Amino acid sequence: MTSLDDLSILLLWTAIAIYAGAFIAYAFDLARRSSAVEEVTAGAKVLVAAGSAGADADATPVPASETPAKPRFVLARIGTALTVLGWLFHLGATLTRGFAAGRVPWANLYEFAMIGTLLIVLVYLVVLTRIDLRYLGTFITGLVVVLLGAAAANFYVIVTPLVDPLKSVWLIIHVFVASLSTALLALAFALSVMQLLQTRRERRVAEGAAKPGPRFLATLPDASRLENLAYRFAVVGFIFWTFTLIAGAIWAQDAWGRYWGFDVKETWTFIIWVLYAGYIHARATRGWRGTPSAWLSITGFAAVIFNFAIVNVFFKGLHAYSGLS
């Protein structure tokens, strides 16, 4: 008879496969955007030529039906539909793991990867209802496939009872808020990467370069818009990370009798806080906009990934709850 945990594993690998399909659809969408830019550019040149001829010979106007159509990005819609489907399977995997354990499903590294990536996709999908960020689809689904696949392959542990320090309401609050913060910072990271690519393209266009960069970038917002979006997500993520830091200190006092002990996990949580505080301050200070602030955002998220994948696995301390031997 299949157990709930076995069902959770099956649902999780199904979700990973569907996310991989979404990644492929989004990747083809970016390629299609490049082709669409070429088609629109070629059509515009034809119209300009026709307009010039009409001015000289009183030619009839070019019919509206021959005007280059705005690309519809059908593959992006397919990618988004697959992402929603993958998220539903992902949610099912997370819930069945929780039911199997009889508690919230984020008490070890494997489960934290499940809830963290679940929230990354959820935040992305919710934001899509207000802002078209489908050009980030390859980043988001690719990141989730890598993190979730690595966790399923390397971090899986059987369901075990909670150790005493984890038997607290702070397990529900502290870890969930940390996961939500990570999701918001992941979006800021993706936008910052796009910002760097767009900045390079805009600079090369200004210089008159024949090949300014990947053509799909011409269908994206300009670098300034991407930077502003990244900053907004980073600010909200930073607020949640600040709460994570404070809640962790309160939980430490309750579990170990002290608020702060420079445990390696505590230290890295504070380092991440400092990096994003520096990014937000630098972004608000004249002279630190553009490329420098984007690199600070990227460095901050690299520290988040290091904290998750390296500190949790290779550094021992009071927070050694990965479940790995």
pLDDT of residue 222: 92
Q: Is 238 helix (H, G, I), strand (E, B) or coil?
A: helix
Backbone angles phi, psi at 94, to 5 degrees: -70, -45
User: How close are the terminal C-alpha atoms of the chain, in Å?
Assistant: 28
Distance of CA 163 to the CA centre of its chain: 31
* Tokens encoding 210: 């024949």
Q: Is 65 helix (H, G, I), strand (E, B) or coil?
A: helix
239 or 323, higher pLDDT: 239
* pLDDT per residue as tens digits for the range 102-157: 889 988 889 999 999 999 999 999 999 999 999 999 999 999 999 999 999 988 98
Check whether 58 has a pLDDT greater than 70. Answer: no
pLDDT of residue 286: 66
Could you tell me the residue ranges of all domains in the chain? 4-314
Tell me the C-alpha to C-alpha distance, in Å, between residue 80 and each of 13, 130, 216.
19, 14, 18
Asked whether 14 and 87 are in contact (CB, 8 A), the reply is no
* Tokens encoding 282: 């630098």
Average pLDDT value for the chain:
84
Burial class (CB in 10 A: 0-12, 13-18, 19+), 198: buried
* pLDDT per residue as tens digits for the range 257-268: 888 877 888 888
Nearest to 131, CA basis, from 48, 59, 226: 226
206-213: long-range contacts at Cβ-Cβ below 8 A with a sequence spacing of 24 or more? none
* pLDDT per residue as tens digits for the range 192-222: 999 999 999 999 888 887 777 788 888 889 9
pTM summary value: 0.85
Encoded amino acid at 215, one letter: R
